[in-house]
Every structure is written in C-alpha cells, then in structure tokens.
Structure 1
Amino acid sequence: MGDVQAMFHQVKVPKGDRDFLRFLWWPAADLTKDVAEFRMTVHLFGATSSPSCAIFALRKTADDNQGNFPAEVIQAVKENFYVDDCLKSMASEEEAVQMVKHLTALCQRGGFTLTKWISNNRTILQTLPEEHKAKDLRELNLDRDKLPVERALGLQWCIETDSFKFKMETHQRSCTRRGMLSVSSSVFDPIGFLAPVLLPAKTMLQELCRRNFGWDETVPQDILHHWTRWLEELDMLSEFKIERCMKPKDFGNIVHAQLHNFSDASESGYGAVTYIRMQNNRNDSHVAFLIGKAKVTPLKAVTIPRLELTAAVLAVRIDLMLKTELRLPLQESVFWTDSTSVLKDIMNEDKRFHTFVANRVSAIRAATKTSQWRYVNTKENPSG
C-alpha cells in the first residue's frame, strides 16, 4: 500500500480556470498592507473538482507511458488507486518489488511521488528507501519488532497478522435517537463483516422513527434495555478479526473459482452475502467470505415474499459488482434462496405479475439464468 504525496498540488490548474480559485491575502503576510487578490495555480484540498482532476492526470500519465512499462503496471494505475491511495496484492515477493519500482517510476513521470509504502512482507519493506516508508515503519527493527496496525481505506489493517480488525471507541452518547445514530454510524464496515451486528441497531432506530420520537427525546425503557445490551456486546468486536487474503497461503494456482450468493429476508430486515469457492490443481477446495449487505425493511409494510424477492435482487447486484472487480476467471455464479415463492417467480414463464414483482423479476432475469437459482434450507442459509 502506498500514497501519492500531496496529490492535488501536483496538478496544475489551466490559466483560463484560475479565476474560479481566487482568494484574498496580505502580500508577504504583512497585515499592514492592503489585501491583495491571489489565484491558486494548483488544485486545492476541499474543492469538489480536485479528486476527479487529479485522477484524470494520474491516468493520463499511465496512458502516455504505455510503451515504457509492463501492461500490469499500467493496469494497476488505472484500477488499484483510490484517489491518492494505492492498494495492490501480488503473488510473490519478486513481483511485488518490481511493481513498487515500476509504479514509483511511472508516477514520477507525471510529477507524482509515491511514498508511505507499507507491506505485510518484511523482505519487501527492506528494499524500500527509508524516506518512502510509512511513518510508523521508519523506526522499526524489521528483524525483531512487530509490524503496526495501519488504516487501509478506513479499515484497520493489522499488518503483522495480515488481517482486518475493528477498533471500537464508542464514546458515551446521550440515550436519544441522535446519540444512538452517532454511535452506530461510527462503526465503519463497508465490506459487511459486521452486518449481523449493525442490523439490530438500525432496527432500533427505525422503531424510534415509527413511534415518532424526536432527535433529542429520551428513548423508552424497552428500547433502552436492548440498546445498552447492544453496546456491551459491541465492545467484544475489538477481539474480532478476519483474514485479509481470501486465498490461503500455499494454496497454489486457482483452476476453478465460483461465486455463491445467498439471500434472505424477515420482518425486520433483508440481506445478501457472497462467498467465493476456489479449487486448485490438487483438487483442494477453499471457501471465503467476500461481502455482505443487510438492510432494514421499509416503514411501509411489505410482505415477506416481496422482501425475499428484494433480497434476491440485492444478491444479483452484488454479484454483478464482484464480477467486475475481481481479477479472476469465474465460473457461472450460483444464487441460493430459502424462498420457494422467489424461485417460482423467477422460473415462471406465463403468469403476469403486479408491477412490484414484475420489475424485480425482470431485473433478475436480465442478469441471470433460471438454471443459476437453487433452493437452500432456511437453517443452512448464512444470510438469514
């Protein structure tokens, strides 16, 4: 993982556009002089346009140097950067060392300096210049000291164990709807590792909305009891961790990979979860969690069969996203549901549905085949 140093300030603003970035300042910071008008010549942090302009400049750098670097390096610039953050996994130490070298050289051609490098591999860290290492690594003895915990796009990445962890610092808030929302929103979980944990909090907030409680009203005792218990259990997440790499070490080459999508719904919520099943050339199999999504049911009453269908659509959308993002040759995905009504709707060729059902069945049929849908027992459905 690396970071582009002061990325926005490396990209010039065209002269014709600089009037939009005018500001007033005292010449030479002398407050006795009259205020003068200045213009920014580079993109500044805080402007809505800065990220897209900087990303365009970085990608243009890759396009302009396609003939000078390997194709995988050009691809990494276009697909493995999130604004100024670079995150890339490689199969071997040798490949990783070369990737860092090429990425640094390529970005430098566009005036971008890649720095704050960090890796879960000590051999790679030893090849990095001291000034280009992440700050927490510069004073470490790589032969003896434990590697630190770093933030990777908001997630806590424990580099020593190469796993994701959750640092729970839920400061005491008032027992109001506002305070509950503040605490539950402070848990950052974009991949859905904690979806089963966060759903009860969302359900409690929804119940307060249903009862028309104001933002700063004290919550009733029945919800307060559940909320206090939820907070106590939330502290236990500090001990929870999940492996970053979905493929075990020494698993070898993947010869078969397939996504398995599960969906389910209840009166309080619905959701979907996706696993990947991999097989190597030794016929060994491994299943890994990829992503999960959980949502509360709408305030307006919706029947369980319709919620099950909505969950199935969510599973299809997740599958489409993962097939775009994963750099693996995938077999045809499999979709699992414990709702026989959903399966009948998807398989149906003759019946005309109401608009709600028709739209969702249409979305499912447009992206999948009926042969991809299968039944799973409720007790064995991991999305339940």
Structure 2
Amino acid sequence: MTSLIFGANCSPFIAQFVKNKNAQRYESSMPAAASAIYRSHYMDDYIDSLPNEEAAIQLIDNIMFIHKQGGFQMRNWTSNSKKILASLPKDLLGEAAVKFNTGELYEGERTLGLIWHPNDDTLRFDVSFKRIPETIINGTQKPTKREMLRVIMSIFDVYGILAPFTINGKIMLQEIWKSKISWDDYITETVFQKWSKWIYLLKSLKNDYGYE
C-alpha cells in the first residue's frame, strides 16, 4: 500500500504507528518534538501548551520538519499568540488563526470536542443540545431512560474538567438502570427530582461560566 484508507478497522492503528515510526528516527536529534508527536497528537490533531513563544516556535518548526520527512504536512495551525502565528506560512494557518490575527470575532475553534477561544485563552463546552427537545432540557418534561442517556452523554469532556458535575448525571443513570425500566419508559419520580436539580445546575454552568 502506498496510501492509507480511512474507514477500515485497522486505519487508526496504522496511522498512529506510521506517525510514531517516522518520529522515532529523530528521537536523538529532536527529542522534544518526537515526544510531542508521541504524546500530544490525537489522530491527525495536535494540541500542546508551552511556557513561552520562543519554545513554541522552535517546537512547531521541529514537528513540521519531522512530519515532512514522512510526507506529512501539518495544516490549520492556530494559537493565542500572534508572534507564533506570524512565524508560520500563511497558507498553513487555520480559519480561526486568520480571524484572530485580524481581531475579528468568531465562535471559537473546536478542539477535541471543546471550544477554544484564543483571544482570552479559555475553554468552553457545547451544552446547547440542539437535537434534544427543549422541554427535556428545561426540566418541565420527565425524560425517558433513552433521552436521559442522550443528554448526559452529549457533554463531551475529554479532560474531565466538568467531572464534579457530570459524575452526578452518571450516578443517576446507574440508579435508573438498576430500576430495570425499558429504554422508552419515563424515569422514576425519585430520579426525576434529582434530574430537575441537575438540569438546573446545567443551566447555571451555561449562564455563569460562559459555556456555549
């Protein structure tokens, strides 16, 4: 094979193996870049944080060099530093980076399921639940077991930042599972009381902390 197809069961493994195999050749000459490729890449995405702009510029340059030796071109770069963005070719910048450079307001960059706003370097979560009935989200309608699961699992929090909040939803789901109701049965009254409080806190997250 001279190219990797997407969709096959083995594709994620092969992509990661080739990426790491290529980086392995530069462990001695560029150890920091090789380590970043091993530890800070998620499929074809790369996310990292550095103590200063000079270190970031050097690391990015080395990472791009290593990937280029394997025939890979890193694109759609963005940063919360205009100095770092200025060090990169304009054709490799992402849309968010271009808007950040011009001071244009935008909705933020989606990064690993989170929404990152480079202007103030903050992370936000999408808790709009556009595909879920409003009556379920505002707590006026008792959800079914299926709808409850859909809401709880819609909060994508890969780093566990919201764990103190989301764990309560998962505990409720565990409780309703033990009640042995069917997927399309409404949750029990006891759990609904807890659910209503949880939904109220969910709305306070959105209002108080600026989550989307």
TM-score by length of 2: 0.82
Q: Does 1:58 align with 2:19?
A: yes
- Equivalence for 1:365: none
1:178–1:42: structure 2 CA closer, same or farther, 3 Å change rule?
same
- Mark the runs of 5 or more structure 2 residues left unpaired by the alignment: 137-141
Deviation at 1:158, TM superposition (A): 2.2
1:88–1:200: structure 2 CA closer, same or farther, 3 Å change rule?
closer
* Paired amino acid for 1:97: I
More helix by share: 2
Q: Following superposition of structure 1 onto structure 2, how do residues 321-332 of structure 1 map, counting pairs within 5 Å?
A: none
How many residue pairs match? The answer is 201
Provide the secondary structure at the position in 2 that maps to 1:114. coil
- Equivalence for 2:183: 215
- Equivalence for 2:149: 181
Deviation at 1:201, TM superposition (A): 2.0
Q: Deviations over 1:139-165 (max 9, x none)?
A: x26253357522222222222221222
Residue 193 of structure 1, aligned match among 129, 144, 161: 161
Deviation at 1:221, TM superposition (A): 3.0
Deviation at 1:190, TM superposition (A): 2.9
- Equivalence for 2:119: 160
User: Percent identity of the aligned residues?
Assistant: 30
1:89–1:201: structure 2 CA closer, same or farther, 3 Å change rule?
closer
* Paired amino acid for 1:123: K
* Separation in structure 2 between the aligned mates of residue 86 and residue 220 of structure 1, nearest angstrom: 44
1:217–1:132: structure 2 CA closer, same or farther, 3 Å change rule?
same
Provide the secondary structure at the position in 2 that maps to 1:125. helix
Q: Displaced runs of 4+ in structure 1, greater than 3 A?
A: 143-148
1:221–1:131: structure 2 CA closer, same or farther, 3 Å change rule?
same
- Equivalence for 1:312: none
* Separation in structure 1 between the aligned mates of residue 143 and residue 97 of structure 2, nearest angstrom: 41
Deviation at 1:178, TM superposition (A): 0.8
1:113–1:204: structure 2 CA closer, same or farther, 3 Å change rule?
same
- Equivalence for 1:360: none
TM-score by length of 1: 0.48
RCO greater where, 1 or 2, for CA within 8 Å and sep 6 or more? 2
Assess if the C-alpha contact under 8 Å between 2:96 and 2:108 holds in 1.
no
Assess if the C-alpha contact under 8 Å between 1:147 and 1:160 holds in 2.
no
Q: Deviations over 1:168-200 (max 9, x none)?
A: 122225711111011001111233222222233
Which of structures 1 and 2 has the bigger CA Rg? 1
* Separation in structure 1 between the aligned mates of residue 184 and residue 107 of structure 2, nearest angstrom: 40
Deviation at 1:133, TM superposition (A): 0.8
* Paired amino acid for 1:183: V
Assess if the C-alpha contact under 8 Å between 1:137 and 1:147 holds in 2.
no
Tell me the C-alpha RMSD between the 2 structures.
2.4
- Equivalence for 1:76: 36
